[in-house]
Structure 1
Amino acid sequence: MKLLIFGSVASGKTTLARKLSDELNIIYYEGDCIAWGFPNEKRYKRSNQEQKEIIEKIDENSSWIIEGTYRDSQKILYDLADVIIFLDTPLYIRIYRMIFRFIKQKIGYEESNYKPTYDMLKHMFKWTIDFERNRNFHKKRLIEYKKKLIWIRFPDQLKGKNSY
């Protein structure tokens, strides 16, 4: 089983990936960790070639779960996946989650792969606005994969869909 979970910032991708990873006993990967390197605690953007090599290495496994936002450098994942879950969580829920997550990270209650700065929070809002502006692009792109696509607006829609 190769499962891609796609969505905007704070749509619930990581939470769902962790849950399915536990339930299905399949390792999961964060798309951010494919796109970004963290040598010596210094974050850097990997080249498209480096990302491709990481994806090819992951794909050597017969099963995987990868969650992330859309990146041209990772679009091959849509072809490799057996199932694509698009978490199209309403904007008001995502805004609440971004703010709540930021507070939890700032007080040390939740860990992250990035430093929870106000600048990062500002970027999350920018990425969310960009996602909303490009909504039609994502819809058109996802239609190509409709045979393996599960489109989720609210978490309760996932109940009973664990027959991946």
Structure 2
Amino acid sequence: MKIRIIGPVGSGKTRLAKQLSLKYKIPVTSVDDLNWKRSPQGDVHRTPEERAHLLKRVLKQDDWIVEGVQYCYGQKTFVDADIIYFKNVSYLRNL
């Protein structure tokens, strides 16, 4: 199963992804982790080529969950997804 989750910041994308991951035993990839190299010295933005390579590895898996707010980058996640969740949360609730 291939699941894509998108929505505004703070809408619960990560929480939903973790719940679905536990239920279906599917690995989760955060688009933020594809965009950033994490280190104790601070985060560094990945190059477009690095992001594309990492995303291609994720999409080769039989099952995946990809969550994140980014839309333009990673369009293939929407094409390949079996299920797309859009977390539509009101502005006031999100605050």
TM-score between both structures, scaled by the size of structure 2: 0.91
Distance 2:87 2:52 in 1: 24
Deviation at 1:40, TM superposition (A): 4.6
Query: Is 1:34 matched up with 2:52?
Result: no
Query: How far off is 1:38 after superposition?
Result: 1.4
Q: Secondary structure at the match of 1:15?
A: helix
Structure 1 residue identity aligned to 2:4: L
Count the aligned residue pairs.
Answer: 95
Name stretches of at least 5 consecutive residues in structure 2 with no aligned partner: none
* TM-score normalised according to structure 1 size: 0.55
What's the counterpart of residue 20 of structure 2? Answer: 20
Partner of 2:60: 60
Identity in percent: 27
SS in 2 for 1:73: coil
Deviation at 1:70, TM superposition (A): 2.2
Write the letter of the residue equivalent to 1:63.
Answer: D
The Cα RMSD (Å) is: 1.3
Q: SS of the counterpart of 1:9?
A: coil
Query: After superposition, what is the alpha-carbon deviation per residue over 1:88-136, rounded to whole angstroms, capped at 9, x for unaligned?
Result: 11111111xxxxxxxxxxxxxxxxxxxxxxxxxxxxxxxxxxxxxxxxx
Q: Which has the larger share of strand? A: 2
Other structure's SS at 2:73 match:
helix
One-letter amino acid matched to 1:22: L
Q: Structure 1: where are the runs of 5+ without partners?
A: 96-164
CA contact (8 A) 1:2 1:81 kept: yes
Larger Cα Rg: Structure 1 or Structure 2? 1
Q: CA deviation at 1:71?
A: 3.7
Distance 1:72 1:24 in 2: 27
Q: Which residue number corresponds to residue 125 of structure 1?
A: none
Who is 2:84 aligned against? 84
